[in-house]
Every structure is written in structure tokens, then in C-alpha cells.
Amino acid sequence: MKKKILPIVATLIILFFTSSSNYQMLYNKLEAEHKYIQNQIKAEEVKIQGINNKSVIVRNSKETVDKTTPVEYPNIQLHAIGAALMDADSGRVLFERKGYEALPMASTTKIMTCIVALEEGKLDDMVTVSKYASTMPDVQLGIREGEQYILNDLLYSLMLESHNDVAVAIAEHIGSSVQGFAKMMNEKAKEIGCENTHFVTPNGLDANGHYSTAVDMSRIASYAIKNKEFIKITNEPIWNFSEVKTGRKFAVSNKDRFLYIFDGAIGVKTGFTGKAGYCFVGAVKKNNKTLVSAVLGCGWYPNKGLKWKDTTKLMNYGLDNFEYKTVFEGTDNFQPIMVDKGIEKITNTYIEGHLDLLLSENDKVDYTYNMPEMVKAPIHKGSAVGYINVWINGEIYKQFPIRVSKTVMERDFNYCFDEIFKIFKIK
């Protein structure tokens, strides 16, 4: 039947398009539709749900956000050379002063030693002490060449009293050598997102090329405290254990005074060397907030207590000045988008996602979106066609995808053929 109809259809098409009035009418109709669609989607500003679920403006240009104004932190009086305060849940830096400056970090290094050992070893592993490990300087447990210990026991010795000989014994057991373990530490640092950290030793003794930053140490601790075994170890007041073969007994006690002087403290590690000065990485969980701070180069002997003062100031600043706010809420109906060669000329879009963040009154939040005016058919429901940028203090913090609401197929030959049949009511 279709073979008989095709010549008729072809003739009608030729007659239709050779009629200048019909052609002009079709052209004008398409042109009007095109302009209407463009006007619908050309708005430079639209509204979305933003901070505290209030309607906020989102602009169609990332250039509208001022990225030149530096973040202004409060004038907190600190003794540390480098300091940082971080929201442990989001990883956002809430305060920093020389927080990105590379500095020696002493025994706060052992935070990474512990978390790598927990992830790569087994708590019931048997660790045999090498001659090299037994020769490490103070602070030391006094382990001897050939002795054997359970890894779990050594991790308490490592974190509660910061024993340097134990750190090397753990490193040699997990990484086959200090160098092999340092490689694992550096790989983990990169995985976590540290940008200016390099480990050479597992104990933090001064060494060329061994450094980190206050921000990176805060990032490492934020990662570590998510491990339940890590928290269990670092919060233990005292731990008793024995050497496996001889039964030689040991008792180690927690030297992290911050656990006892700050309400909500959950760790994590002190440090001191002649080059690094006094260092401390602390963590607090209070009022539904989890904060991590780091102070590096926080005085030298005899100013042992300055690290507690600096850490207390940083934690109080975070607890007193930051509250959770809903920064972004997705929407079922965003901007329409044109579809080139689609069976429908336009389709709607939506944005998925939700973001709650700790914010202070001084934090500036902006929103921009990037989305083309037109996409090419076929386009399938849920396909990403752009993204919303959430800017905090002039930097992009997170992006959320803009997706099409429905599938739009291409205007191919079969579709055009069916439409012609409808126009001329051919059955």
C-alpha cells in the first residue's frame, strides 16, 4: 500500500514547497517559534533554593563572581607559625594563617603512620623488631632486636606516648622498609588531597624533605578520625601489653592533654623536635560539629603549653562562629533548553543535589550556572547538559549537574514521513 502512496506523497511535498506562499508561511512559523524559545531561555538570571531554603539568584556567567577579594579571617592572636581550622565533615578550611606553608611537623606525622598501618595491616599481626628500629632515639618504648609484639599493642604505644622505635618497627612490618612505608604514606596523602606534604620518616624525626602544612595535617586528621579503630586508640587513657616471647610487660598512658582540658575533644596527636618546635593536631566533636585544627611551630622549649592555648582559641572560634546552613537545594524545574533536530523543539531541565555547610556570617556564597542554549537530539532523560556552581568566598566549592527532564528523539526520516501523513491525512 505504501508503495502506491509514496509517489502521491512526493508530488504533494513538491507542490507544497514550490508554493511560495506556503514556503513563506512555514518559514515565518519556524522563525517565530525559534525566537520564542530563545526568549524563554535567554534570561541571564534565574532563581533557585539557596541558603536556608530561601530563593536566591543564580547567574549565567562565572565571570560575575568576584575572585579577587581575599578571604578576611579574624585577628586571632596565635603563637604558631602555621595554623589551620577545618570542618572535618566537608574538608572546608574555616581559618588559616600561613596554613599552606611547608613546615616540619614532628610526631604529628604518626597520625599518618597509624592510619596507614590500620588500613594496610591486621591488628593481630606479629611484628618482629629489627636492630635498626631498636636504635631510634627518644622518645622510645625500649623494644629490643628480635622481640615480637602484636601490631595492635604497638599502635597504642605509637599514639599514646609517641615512641619513635615503635614507629620504625611498624613501618618495616607494613612497608618492608622505612622507605617502602614512606612511599605508602605519600600515596595516601595524595589520595586524601594533600597538596604540599612529603613523608620521609614514620616517626617525624627531623629529616630533609619531610614536611607538611597546617591545612594538609588537618586534612589527614579529618580523614583519620573517621576510622573507628583510630579513635579508639587515640582516646584510650592507658594501655597494658606484653612482648610475646618473654612476657615483658609495658604500660603506656595518653599524653594528649587536650582530651582532658577541652569539652568534646577527641584527639589527636602532639609533636616536638628541635626543628619543628611544638606541634599539635586536635579534633573536637561538639554541637553537631566536628572540627580539626593544626598548629605547627607553636613555640620552643620551655613554652610547651602554647599549643593548647592556640588550639583552644581555634576550636572556640569554630564552635562560636559557624553554624550549619542549607547552601543549595535542587529543583525539579530549572531552565528550558532548545533541542536541535528534535521531535520537540524544547525540553525542561532539573537540578539534583543538596548541600549543608558550616558557614559564618562573613562567608560569601554565590551561584552561577553553565548550560548551552541548544543540545542536539537525541537527548535522553537524565543526561547532564550543564552544571550549577556554588561559590564560597570567590572560589568554586562544588558543582551540581543540570539534567534534562525527558527524552527527546531525533527528527529522522521515519518521523518526518509520519508527520507528512498526518498533515495530508493520508491513511
Domain boundaries, the chain: 42-72+323-427, 82-321
As a whole number of Å, the end-to-end CA separation of the chain is 10
pLDDT digits (tens, 9 = 90+) for 296-328: 999 999 999 999 999 999 999 999 999 999 999
Say which of 107, 157, 218, 293 is annotated catalytic. 107
User: How many Å apart are CA 296 and CA 269, to the nearest integer?
Assistant: 12
For the cut 80, the answer to whether the pLDDT of residue 243 exceeds it is: yes
Highest-confidence segment of 235-244, 386-395, 409-418 = 235-244
Find out whether 364 and 393 touch, Cβ atoms under 8 Å.
yes
162 is catalytic: yes
- Its sign, for the CA torsion 420, 422, 424, 426, is positive
Where does the pLDDT of residue 18 fall: very low under 50, low under 70, confident under 90, or very high at 90 and above? Answer: very low
Instruction: Supply the pLDDT for residue 239.
Output: 98
Q: What's the whole-number mean pLDDT along residues 202-219?
A: 98
Q: What's the whole-number mean pLDDT along residues 379-383?
A: 94
Residue ranges of the alpha helices (H) in 50-150?
110-120, 131-134
CATH of domain 82-321: 3.40.710.10
Which residues does residue 296 pair with via DSSP β-bridges, in sequence order? 82
List % helix, strand, coil for the chain (3-state, nearest 5): 35, 30, 35
Task: Write down the mean pLDDT value for the chain.
Answer: 89
For the cut 80, the answer to whether the pLDDT of residue 136 exceeds it is: yes
Number of H helices, E strands in the chain: 12, 19
Instruction: Supply the pLDDT for residue 35.
Output: 59
For the cut 50, the answer to whether the pLDDT of residue 201 exceeds it is: yes
Find out whether 389 and 370 touch, Cβ atoms under 8 Å.
yes
Q: What is the CA radius of gyration of the chain?
A: 32
Q: What is the DSSP string of 297-316?
A: S---TT-TTHHHHHHHHHHH
Find out whether 233 and 274 touch, Cβ atoms under 8 Å.
no
User: How many Å apart are CA 406 and CA 379, to the nearest integer?
Assistant: 8
Find out whether 298 and 105 touch, Cβ atoms under 8 Å.
no
* Residues making up the chain, counted from first to last: 427
User: How many Å apart are CA 108 and CA 161, to the nearest integer?
Assistant: 12
User: How many Å apart are CA 235 and CA 43, to the nearest integer?
Assistant: 55
Q: What is the DSSP string of 331-376?
A: ES----EEEETBSSSEE-EEEEEEEEEEE-TT--EEEEEE--SEEE
User: How many Å apart are CA 126 and CA 51, to the nearest integer?
Assistant: 53
Please state the three-class secondary structure of 161-208 as a single string. CCCHHHHHHHHHHHHCCHHHHHHHHHHHHHHHCCCCCECCCCCCCCCC
High-pLDDT (> 70) share of the chain, %: 84
Q: What is the DSSP string of 240-300?
A: EEE-TTT--EEEEE---THHHHSTTEEEEEEEEETTTEEEEEEEEEETTEEEEEEEES---
107 is catalytic: yes
How many C-beta neighbours within 10 Å does residue 232 have? Answer: 11
pTM for the whole structure: 0.85
Closest CA to 159 of 233, 264, 228, 220: 233
Find out whether 370 and 387 touch, Cβ atoms under 8 Å.
yes
Q: What's the whole-number mean pLDDT along residues 280-301?
A: 97
- Looking at domain 42-72+323-427, its CATH architecture is Sandwich (2.60)
Q: Which residue carries 609484639 as its cell?
A: 149
C-alpha cell, 420: 507528512
Say which of 134, 157, 162, 218 is annotated catalytic. 162
Find out whether 369 and 387 touch, Cβ atoms under 8 Å.
yes
Instruction: Supply the pLDDT for residue 69.
Output: 64
For the cut 50, the answer to whether the pLDDT of residue 27 exceeds it is: no
User: How many Å apart are CA 332 and CA 348, to the nearest integer?
Assistant: 9
Highest-confidence segment of 164-173, 342-351, 402-411 = 164-173
DSSP 373: S
For the cut 80, the answer to whether the pLDDT of residue 8 exceeds it is: no
Which residues does residue 278 pair with via DSSP β-bridges, in sequence order? 272
Is the bond preceding residue 401 a cis peptide, omega within 30 degrees?
no
Task: Indicate if 82-321 has the same CATH topology as 42-72+323-427.
Answer: no
User: How many Å apart are CA 24 and CA 224, to the nearest integer?
Assistant: 70
For the cut 90, the answer to whether the pLDDT of residue 19 exceeds it is: no
249 is catalytic: no
Closest CA to 227 of 315, 93, 114: 114
pLDDT digits (tens, 9 = 90+) for 245-276: 999 999 999 999 999 999 999 989 999 999 99
Which residues does residue 269 pair with via DSSP β-bridges, in sequence order? 281
For the cut 60, the answer to whether the pLDDT of residue 241 exceeds it is: yes
Q: What's the whole-number mean pLDDT along residues 270-295?
A: 98
C-alpha cell, 87: 570542618
pLDDT digits (tens, 9 = 90+) for 315-362: 999 999 999 999 999 999 998 999 998 888 999 999 999 999 999 999
Where does the pLDDT of residue 149 fall: very low under 50, low under 70, confident under 90, or very high at 90 and above? Answer: very high
pLDDT digits (tens, 9 = 90+) for 69-88: 667 788 999 999 999 999 99
Residues in contact with 373: Cβ distance below 8 Å, sequence separation at least 6, in sequence order: 38, 41, 42, 337, 338
For the cut 90, the answer to whether the pLDDT of residue 180 exceeds it is: yes
